[in-house]
Every structure is written in C-alpha cells, then in structure tokens.
Structure 1
Amino acid sequence: MLNFYAFFGGTFDPIHYGHINSVKALANELTIKKITFLPNHLPSHRIPSKTPSYHRLKMLKYAIDNDPLFDIDFREFEINHVCQTVKILKKIRMELGKKTSIAFIIGKDALFDIHLWYKWQDLLKLCHLLVCPRLNFSHKNYEHSTKIWIDKNRIYNKDIIFNKSHGYIWFSKIPLYNISSTDIRLRINQKISCKNLLPDNIIQYIDRFNLYCNS
C-alpha cells in the first residue's frame, strides 16, 4: 500500500454541509484518515466568485476548525492569477513523489464539465478522481469524449486507489446530500433560513459581513 493523500478542491462559496458531510462519508467509505481542502482563489473553469477570497477562506477555516480529519492547503491564495487544477496537481505530485497515491475529490456536477478544464485528460496522469454523487447527474449523459474517458478509467475495486499512484476514477456510493452553494446564496438573498444547510458559525459570519445579499 502506498502513502495516500486526498485533496478536495472547490470555491466553497460558502462551505456547507453538502461539502462537509460528503467528504466525511467518503472518508468512512474508503477509510481515509486525512482530507485536505484545496480552495480555489481564481478558478479557471467557472465564473469568478463575487465573494472576496479572504471571506471564503475564513468561512472554510471556521467550518473545519478542530476536526482532525481536515486541513487546508493555501497554495492557490499565494498565486495572484488564475490557477488551473492540472498545474496545481503537478506541483503537488512533484512534492509528494511518484510513489504516492494522490486523489482529487470532485462532485458529479464538476465531472460533467471536466472536458472544459485545461488539459483535463492529463488529470489521471497525476492523480485518481474520487467522485461524489450529485442530484440529476449520470455519467451516461456526459459529453461523449468525457463518457469514453470515464468508462475507460473507472474502477469498482477501491483497493486500487491505495495501491496505484494515479490513473483511476472511483464513483462513491455515499448518500446524496442535496445542498448547493448556489441555492444557499439565493436563499440568503431572499432572506430565507439556511438553518441545517451549513454550520451556525458560518451563518453568523455571513450575517456579520452581509454576504450574498446582492448575489
């Protein structure tokens, strides 16, 4: 078995229980002891967040504070330009070496658009992909080149993730958490309660800084 590192990328705008509970369930499913959040500063494949990066990062810190499962990699915030995921993973691979298993966690919704990512077909040369379920997303409905790529590299034996350094796609069977940052921002803008959708301290932070009221 190789040394293993799991990274969870995203804008986390804001971080919510869909993020937190999904990766906790994934950690339980695969017996992962540590998951590192890799927050985007200036994402390359989606519309930039209107929320200042330091607010998103603060909320992420508060949400996972004192949870031994989680930590944060701040590297994207040290670069003041758009960061492609492939380039970030290349740096991580260089740091951790060739004989380390690296996994990158994404949702099925992100996988749906992965053909729009910079050098997306190079991702599996650097890591495994661990895919969390999302509502109304089936890989059978993906863009044709994406579906071929998924079918070619999908695995059903989770042990491969820990014995190979990269190259495979695992579809998690964890519960579906139907919570989205987009819906939360809309609810806040419409003054609808977000109780039980994200941690109370994050709700308080959003109220304190009047975030998402004009989203």
Structure 2
Amino acid sequence: MLGGTFDPVHLGHLRSAVELHEALGLDRVHMIPAAKPPLRGEPRVTPEERLTLLRLGIGDTPGLVADPRELRRDGPSYSADTLAELRREYGPEARLVMALGHDAFLRLAEWHAPSRLFELAHLVVIDRPDHEAPLPDALAALVAGREVDAVAALMAAPSGGLLRLRLPSRMAISATELRRRLAEGRSVRYLLPEAVEARILDHGLYRQ
C-alpha cells in the first residue's frame, strides 16, 4: 500500500512505486488516493479527478494498481481502516506492507491508531540520508523493537516489522512546486507522465 494525496501524481510517486515493487518482491502495489487526508489540507482537485490522473499515470505499468477504496468511504481517510480492508481481502497470512516517506514517518505517532498499523501490516519507510537523527520520543516508543535490516527478515511474518529502505532513484519532485508551476502557466514537462500532463492542461486543473 502506497497512499497519498497524489495532488497531482508525478514521476517521483510512480518511480518510487516501481522500485518498491522490485525491492520488496511484492505481488502488487496498491496506490491509494486519500479522499480526506486527516493531517493535511484539502487537496486542490476532487478525489475522483486525482484518481483519474493516477490511473492515467500508471497506465499499463506491471504491478501497480490505482485503488479507489478510500474514495468509497465516508469520513477521514485513516490508513488503519484501509489496511484492515486489505487484511480482510488477502487473509491473515499475507505479507502486507504500508510504505511511507520519511517526513510522514516522523509524524506517525500523531496518526489515528498508529499501533494498529503494525498489527495489520509492516511499515517500510522510504528513507533519506539523515535518517540517523534521533526520533521523537513518542515515535521511538511506538517502533521500539520492530526494526529489521533486511527484506527477508521483514517478510518472515505477516505484519509488525519496520524497515527503512533507500530507493535507487530518489526523484526530487514536489507536488507543491508542480501546483505552483501549473498555477503560473509554467512548464511541467518531464515531471509528470505525458497523459497526466495532457489531462491537467486540457481541463485547466490547478489554474488559479
């Protein structure tokens, strides 16, 4: 599971999903747009439009799935609820993984029912070079005893582990900067998949 606002989806999101699929040996990566992200502001375009852009971005990429399940639920888009749905679908023995970026990981203790996440899945943190910095106390307590240092160790159980993973292609693309460029009528070529760029421009999305 790789969640996010995908506001809009860009090549950094998609490349990370492909590399997670390969590095962890996953059957598939569910890319799940949040309808109402609890800890972020309201996205600029509707959840349905962000899902459409995500589907265009994924295209026929093997192993990636645009998953609309959070758009079908009322209320905030809690990851614990999403993982519970996936656990029911795949069964108790499946290896489930939730991937998140380092900045999101640092706020994990503020999430809804954070300990429940580990009951339902493993967490994989897409790391950055300064990850050795001390964790906030609440986060350190939450992840104590859970961290492993290899994919094989993580996959030895269906859930409960934490792995920090350095991906080969850390593409420094910011959705915030993309929205700014689109609002100003500046080029976003080579930052988005062509099909995503075309729909955004054809429909005037993210224009002020």
When the two structures are superposed, what TM-score results if normalisation uses the length of structure 1? Answer: 0.88
Letter in 1 for 2:199: Y
1:153 to 137, 146, 154: 146
Residue 162 (structure 2) aligns with:
169
| CA deviation map 1:34-58 (0-9, x unaligned) | 2111221112222121211111011
2:100 alignment partner, SS class = strand
Letter in 2 for 1:162: M
The separation in 2 between residues aligned to 1:124 and 1:74, in whole angstroms, is 23
Letter in 2 for 1:74: P
Root mean square deviation, CA, Å: 1.8
The separation in 2 between residues aligned to 1:199 and 1:73, in whole angstroms, is 18
Residues 1:21 and 1:145: Cα distance change in structure 2 (over 3 Å): same
Is it true that 1:138 corresponds to 2:131 in the alignment? yes
| CA deviation map 1:156-190 (0-9, x unaligned) | 02112322100111111213221121111112122
The separation in 2 between residues aligned to 1:209 and 1:137, in whole angstroms, is 40
The separation in 2 between residues aligned to 1:108 and 1:129, in whole angstroms, is 11
Residue 4 (structure 1) aligns with:
none
Gaps of 5+ in 2: none
The separation in 2 between residues aligned to 1:186 and 1:142, in whole angstroms, is 32
Moved more, 85-94 or 119-128: 85-94
| Residue pair 1:109, 1:137 contacting (<8 A) in 2 also | no
2:63 to 57, 66, 69: 69
The separation in 2 between residues aligned to 1:147 and 1:137, in whole angstroms, is 16
Residue 17 (structure 2) aligns with:
23
Letter in 2 for 1:133: D
Residues 1:95 and 1:29: Cα distance change in structure 2 (over 3 Å): closer
| 1:143 CA displacement | 2.1
Aligned pairs, number? 207
Moved more, 39-48 or 139-148: 139-148
| Residue pair 2:58, 2:66 contacting (<8 A) in 1 also | no
The separation in 1 between residues aligned to 2:32 and 2:82, in whole angstroms, is 10
| CA deviation map 1:44-102 (0-9, x unaligned) | 22212121111101100101111122112221111232221112212222232211111
- Aligned identity (percent) is 25
When the two structures are superposed, what TM-score results if normalisation uses the length of structure 2? Answer: 0.91
1:184 alignment partner, SS class = helix
Is it true that 1:107 corresponds to 2:107 in the alignment? no
Gaps of 5+ in 1: 1-6
